[in-house]
Amino acid sequence: MKIAVIGCAGRMGRTNLAAVLDAGLELVAGVEPAGHADLGRDLGTLAGRDPVGRAVTSDAAAAFTTADAAIEFSTPAATVRHAELAAAAGCAHVVGTTGLDGEQEAALAAAAGAVPIVYAPNMSRGVNLLMELVETVARALDAEFDVEIVEMHHNRKVDAPSGTALGLGRAAARGRGVELDAVAERGRDGVTGARERGRIGFAALRGGDVVGDHTVCFAGPGERLELTHRAADRAIYGRGAVQAARWAVGRPPGLYGMAEVLGLTG
């Protein structure tokens, strides 16, 4: 299987390069924008592995044409452009980019009419199992239990709440039979008044080199249930992305999630 990695020089990009090489798959391309400082570097060296004889390129179109699947953790705008390239090239696309707005997600879904796209805010097996658990618990506990989601990441993360936190919020909302946008409480400051029943609250912490911590708290009268996942190594995301790429190649066109990849759906 031939794999390209888009956004290959970033933190997750290098992790994905290493995951592809460690899995024994053929790394055919690594892409960064024109003018990037790492253009021309060997992809194996960039990943902390032996040289592989392929260099970082800015030719995204060629990468999608060459690969069976492309793994991308980049920016929302770039991801949408690349999804169109994937659709034109017939290349499966694994997207771990976070921070996409509704219009960008719709563009991703449109591209998925031509190729399989796996889009997930988190590629970790543990986090995706946590999402299933959160939905189950939210369905079982009524609105007497307030839902609060707390996440912490390193000090260089640019979006908040994290894509994973929002994914957990969507899972809780599905369990409650509501739309997240209708009940989300994204920030509190000053005299906010009493907490409104049925809201799903978010708190985002940033500091140090934290890979990713997420806790979903169901706080009810006299008791509290907390579900937590802590990531200690970005490699878990890379392994999940590779698993998604292997799963996606040969699938019918469509927009899939990690629940399908992991067999968590009925």
Name the DSSP letter for residue 9: T
Interval 125-144: pLDDT, tens: 999 999 999 999 999 999 99
Are the C-beta atoms of residues 28 and 63 closer than 8 Å to each other? yes
Amino acid symbol at 47 = A
Amino acid symbol at 237 = Y
Are the C-beta atoms of residues 71 and 241 closer than 8 Å to each other? yes
pLDDT confidence bin for 99, thresholds 50/70/90: confident
How far apart CA 234 and CA 47 sit, in angstroms, is 13
Omega before 253 cis (within 30°)? no
157 catalytic, yes or no? Answer: yes
pLDDT confidence bin for 65, thresholds 50/70/90: very high
82 catalytic, yes or no? Answer: no
Question: Residue 142 contacts by C-beta under 8 Å, 6 or more apart in sequence?
Answer: none
Phi, psi of 60 (to 5 degrees): -65, -40
Q: Which residue has the tokens 């888009």?
A: 6
pTM of the full structure: 0.85
Q: Which residue has the tokens 């290959």?
A: 8
Interval 40-63: pLDDT, tens: 999 999 999 999 999 999 999 999
Catalytic residue among 153, 154, 214, 229: 153
Residue 83 has pLDDT above 90, yes or no: yes
Are the C-beta atoms of residues 104 and 111 closer than 8 Å to each other? no
Extents of the domains making up the chain: 2-119+234-261, 125-231
Q: Identify the pLDDT of residue 175.
A: 97
Amino acid symbol at 262 = L
CATH topology of domain 125-231: Dihydrodipicolinate Reductase; domain 2 (3.30.360)
pLDDT confidence bin for 37, thresholds 50/70/90: very high
Phi, psi of 98 (to 5 degrees): -110, 165
H helices present in 67-185, as ranges = 76-89, 102-111, 125-140, 163-176, 180-183
Catalytic residue among 36, 93, 154, 157: 157
Query: Could you tell me which of 262, 245, 204, 250 has the C-alpha nearest to residue 118?
Result: 245
Q: Identify the pLDDT of residue 266.
A: 59
Name the DSSP letter for residue 42: B
Interval 207-230: pLDDT, tens: 999 999 999 999 999 999 999 999
On average, the pLDDT of the chain sits at: 95
CATH number assigned to the domain with residue range 2-119+234-261, chosen from the 4 options 2.40.50.140, 3.30.70.20, 3.40.50.720, 3.20.20.70: 3.40.50.720
What SS3 class is residue 202?
strand
Per DSSP bridges, beta strands 200-206 and 212-220 are unpaired
